[in-house]
Amino acid sequence: MPASAVAAEIAEAGATIVALGSTAAAADGAAGADVAGDDQGPAIVITGQREEYGARSTRSATRTDTDIRNVPQAITVISESQIEDQALRSIADVLTYVPGAMPGTGESNRDQITLRGNNTTADFFIDGLRDDAQYFRDLYNAERVEVLRGPNAMIFGRGGGGGVVNRVTKRSSGNAYNEFSIGADSEGGYRLTGDVDLPIGLAAGIRVNAVYENGESFRRGVEIERYGINPTVGVTFGNRTRIDIAYEFFHDRRTTDRGIPSFGDRPLQGSDNVFFGDPEDSYADVDVHIGSFAIEHQLTERLMVRNRTQYADYDKFYQNIFPGDLNETTNRVSISGYKDIAQRENLISQTDLVWSGEIAGIEQTVLFGFELGRQQTLSRRLNGFFQLPGEATRRSALSVAVTSPTIDADVVFLPFNTTATCTPPITTSCTAANFNDSEATVAALYVQDQIRLSDSLEIIAGLRFDRFEMDATNLNTGVRIERVDELFSPRLGLIFRPLPSLSLYASYSRSYLPSSGDQFTSLDLTSSALKPERFDNYELGAKWEPIEGLLASIAVYQLDRSNSRAAGPTPGSIVLTGAQRSRGIEIGLERHISDNWQVSAGYALQDAEISRTTSAAPAGRQVPLVPRHQFSAWNRYNISDRLGFGLGIVARSKVYSSISNQVTLPAYARIDGAVYFEIVEGIEVQLNVENLLGEDYFSTAHNDNNIAPGAPTTARATLRMRF
């Protein structure tokens, strides 16, 4: 049967066709069967019903198309359908439903997360390529979001000690499809999205995704405006070659709301909607340009070559007036401020060769690849100084009454730190604030073998070598510092399948974080002589399909972080004797129980502490934002073809807000709900209500005095049209 006829039958059955050519499905890790086309047109790849949560397979974890049951590590996939059903809008929203993951506030200017007790602002990827600048990512163009826990250096390179977050973006499917939505919430915000997929002939297509959002918050004076557009072009040549070209522009401007301070050992009560600082002078503004080129070519029946190259330009401005310590005797809170300017350019290229066949009668999939990259960053900090009416001098901080902490500040930002010599008039004798120009280059080689010894036993073994070079110049002093690290990152996994529906695994993996830090800001004369931090992960797990289409998983792990800094025996010296240990159990449940019942659930029991004294804390301290118990569950159930309901819960035990272990965010449980109704075929309305019972809680923090109150009961209505 010709491919076009097969496609027509599939379309009538309500399935989704997602690829132009036979090599296309692999790019997104799509699961399903290949339907072979004739020589005149591309093959078609089917992923099943559009509404399924989770995913059947992935390329991200191994760089080869692998069933998720056969990946020896914990993975959670949040699909586009789940994103739409829950009205998720951010990485922080997604992380709420991932066991072992905890979003932070990121000083209200960036995504910042804790995975298995390890905090990061840089372990974010787009289609497997690094997207490590500090900003808030949107989900408008995401096919799905994959969260891979544990060190991932073999696949992703440096960092990723606790895990990585990879966004798989939408691309041309070669089939006509349109989706538009308009949403509004109870805080007065609205959001528009569009997804247009347009085939051009039999072998090419254009897809355009776009978003515009304008909104406010329950927090007074807090606003957001963001918009983005992501056109992509896909072209196939026969059924062996596919090329994808994509460009994204994304703009985000928002009030930088650093939250509320603590009072004693708890967050300050009664100020959930009060802005501490100056909302008019607190904002973040970022422009992101990302262009990518990808090609896949099936050289022979068993050998594929592919390359993905990405250029990204990030231009960010960040300014904030925020709270510090609250004096419990005087009931006055300290207010200070600074601004950051950051520009980054990334150019990254990865090339893979994938061969599948038999060696000595043993079926294998061998991966060989290399990565080349350059990242150039210019960053500068300016500190805020306040001038009160009638005073000739400027202050580095203000003290304001806790009953009226929202101020209209007369502030000037200057390139100096606050020191004793900085009493106004401020002179150049003051110590200069950070002003750095850095260039990081990477050259990496990696090899991996997936050895299928039998139908029930498989080994995954891989090794990556990175040469990471950092060249940083302090533009205040002219001092230039260079550092070269040569890193070997191994990975070993054993998968045993006693039943076709059950996989048991054991794995070991290692990753490194160079002394420059995840944003290249930590390199100085001292750190340039230090070895990279090291992450070693030991994991046992199981993945089971108790019924067709439902995936249950469990992982037990120990993650050791070593080579952390600590004070040396000589005053002012630094030694690498610090260490941190994270241990835990993660349980997941995703996909569907029946055709009408979708589910995404997770539980984590975890403990993360400083095991040997570091420069940040003594041994025995608990790592912040790591709850002992963490639980989430979301269900969508369709009671008819036109009516469905959603119900979910998010709960966690208490956590510390910082490594000081002085302030505790109390435990909480929040219930969310939704209703879905199809008005006519292709037009659906949905209503999501977050925090149905009005729980008063504190969701996360950046430190002891930058604590984020949880939102009260919030409703979001969405009208969605598909045709």
Q: What are 310-359's pLDDT values in tens digits?
A: 999 999 999 999 999 999 999 999 999 999 999 999 999 999 999 999 99
Query: Considering the domain boundaries, does residue 157 fall inside one?
Result: no
Which is nearest to 108 in space by CA: 700, 516, 626?
700
In percent, how much of the chain has pLDDT > 90?
Answer: 80
Q: Residue 240: CB partners within 8 Å, gap ≥ 6?
A: 21, 22, 23, 297, 298
Which is nearest to 537 in space by CA: 564, 562, 505, 560?
560
Can you give the pLDDT at residue 708? 96
CA 698, 700, 704, 705 dihedral sign is negative
Query: Considering the domain boundaries, does residue 215 fall inside one?
Result: yes
Can you give the pLDDT at residue 420? 47
Share the mean pLDDT of the chain.
89
Number of H helices, E strands in the chain: 4, 42
Q: State in Å, rounded, how far the first CA of the chain is from the last one.
A: 26
Query: Considering the domain boundaries, does residue 45 fall inside one?
Result: yes
Is pLDDT at 486 greater than 90 in this prediction?
A: yes
Which is nearest to 209 in space by CA: 188, 191, 231, 225?
231
127: left (phi over 0), alpha (psi -120 to 50) or beta: left
| 189 in the same domain as 44 | no
Residue range 609-623, pLDDT digits in tens = 999 998 888 999 999
Can you give the pLDDT at residue 659? 93
| Residue 150's pLDDT band (cuts 50, 70, 90) | very high
Q: What is the mean pLDDT of residues 455-483?
A: 93
Q: What is the mean pLDDT of residues 387-394?
A: 77
Is pLDDT at 45 greater than 70 in this prediction?
A: no
Number of domains composing the chain:
2
Residue range 213-247, pLDDT digits in tens = 999 999 999 999 999 999 999 999 999 999 999 99
Q: What is the mean pLDDT of residues 22-37?
A: 34
CA angle, residues 23, 312, 479, in degrees to nearest 5: 135
| 189 in the same domain as 45 | no
| Amino acid at site 92 | A
| Residue 20's pLDDT band (cuts 50, 70, 90) | very low
Element (H, E) at 525: none
Is pLDDT at 37 greater than 50 in this prediction?
A: no
Separation CA 212–CA 181 (nearest Å): 11
Can you give the pLDDT at residue 567? 66
Can you give the pLDDT at residue 569? 61
Is pLDDT at 25 greater than 70 in this prediction?
A: no
Is pLDDT at 502 greater than 70 in this prediction?
A: yes
Peptide bond into 425 cis (omega under 30): yes
In percent, how much of the chain has pLDDT > 70?
Answer: 89
Q: What is the mean pLDDT of residues 667-675?
A: 98
Which is nearest to 722 in space by CA: 177, 231, 198, 11?
177
| Residue 48's pLDDT band (cuts 50, 70, 90) | very low
CA angle, residues 513, 287, 60, in degrees to nearest 5: 45
| Residue 572's pLDDT band (cuts 50, 70, 90) | low
Structural domain containing residue 434: 185-685+706-722
Separation CA 19–CA 9 (nearest Å): 16
Query: Which has more confidence, 680 or 52?
Result: 680
Can you give the pLDDT at residue 14? 35
Is pLDDT at 429 greater than 60 in this prediction?
A: no
Can you give the pLDDT at residue 568? 61
Q: What is the mean pLDDT of residues 662-682?
A: 97
Can you give the pLDDT at residue 304? 97
Q: What is the mean pLDDT of residues 162-177?
A: 95
| Residue 6's pLDDT band (cuts 50, 70, 90) | very low
| 672 in the same domain as 524 | yes
pTM score of the predicted model: 0.91
| Residue 519's pLDDT band (cuts 50, 70, 90) | confident
CATH number of the structural domain spanning residue 597? 2.40.170.20
| Residue 51's pLDDT band (cuts 50, 70, 90) | low
| Residue 29's pLDDT band (cuts 50, 70, 90) | very low
Query: Considering the domain boundaries, does residue 694 fall inside one?
Result: no
Which is nearest to 44 in space by CA: 80, 81, 11?
11
Is pLDDT at 28 greater than 50 in this prediction?
A: no
Query: Considering the domain boundaries, does residue 308 fall inside one?
Result: yes
Query: Considering the domain boundaries, does residue 143 fall inside one?
Result: no
Can you give the pLDDT at residue 575? 65
| Residue 5's pLDDT band (cuts 50, 70, 90) | very low
Element (H, E) at 4: helix 3-13
Question: Which of the residue ranges 248-262, 514-528, 563-577 would you say has the lowest mean pLDDT?
Answer: 563-577
